[in-house]
A = this chain, B = another copy of it.
Amino acid sequence: MNPNNKPLILVTNDDGITAPGIRALIKMMNEIGEVYVIAPDSPQSGMGHAITVDSTLFCEKVKIDDGPQSDREWACSGTPVDCVKLGVNRILPRRPDICVSGINHGSNSSINVIYSGTMSAAVEAGVDGIPAIGFSLCDFSYSADFFAAKKYIQQIVRSAIENKMKKGMVLNVNIPKLPEQELKGIRVCRQAKAIWQEEYDQRKDPRGRTYFWLTGKFVNLDSGDDTDERALEEGYISVVPIQYDMTAHDYISVLKSWEL
């Protein structure tokens, strides 16, 4: 904490620094701590945990509105993960007390967590030992109501700070598309087993070359009542604790029996 006891909050996202979702999150975080914004200068959806290794990174101070954070905002040419790495390493005056990412325009529940730039930014902060939370609203519309869940979002951030969330832990928070009075509360869950069934739309360009657009259908394969998908269906905000040890510990003994 800084001398006036306000937590330093790093805010980032993947939809870009001017997206309504991050502007809403900044407003909510201004009521909790000293906000620094380091976010992509353009949309970076679906970037997963990509980092910029073969190219240069620009990161310039920008002024977007008149909030208390207005002279603490930087737009970065890289991915969401680059924003966190560069921010912590070069921009921030000290290590953040917490990193919040979002509010993402669209769901990052279940399997979406691995494709999401918003969640990867939060995971990167986690890897770096900074408590981190990614927020996503299940509404792709730019006119979506990002403030309906304001009290819950603030409550989750305050709880993570007050309860001293375990180092390396990351929360994946998804908010159903519902008006404020219909939100039923918060439910702690596990990630549902779900997949995207791809359906590529095939076209010809004006020169006759074939090209494709990715489209797809989300399929929930998990009927458990303790999943994030179930919580969202039932009108709850889902909170899934996330870690990034990808080892399938249970399968180690199976592999050993193969006698490789």
A218 proximal to B (CB < 8 A): no
Contact A123 B114 (CB under 8 A): yes
Contact B245 A193 (CB under 8 A): yes
A49 proximal to B (CB < 8 A): yes
- A66 CA to B120 CA in the complex, in Å? 41
Contact A214 B51 (CB under 8 A): yes
Chain B residue with Cβ nearest A48: B49
A159 proximal to B (CB < 8 A): yes
Also in contact, A50 and B52, with CB within 8 A (given A211-B57, A212-B59, A249-B190): no
Name which of A113, A186, A198 has the most chain B CB atoms within 10 A of its CB: A198
Q: A56-B212, A241-B251 are in contact. List 20 more A-B contacts (CB 8 A).
A: A46-B52, A48-B48, A49-B115, A50-B115, A56-B211, A57-B211, A58-B210, A58-B211, A60-B209, A82-B214, A86-B200, A86-B212, A90-B212, A114-B246, A152-B260, A159-B260, A190-B247, A193-B245, A243-B247, A244-B246
Q: A-B pairs with the 4 shortest C-beta distances?
A: A48-B49, A243-B248, A241-B251, A46-B53
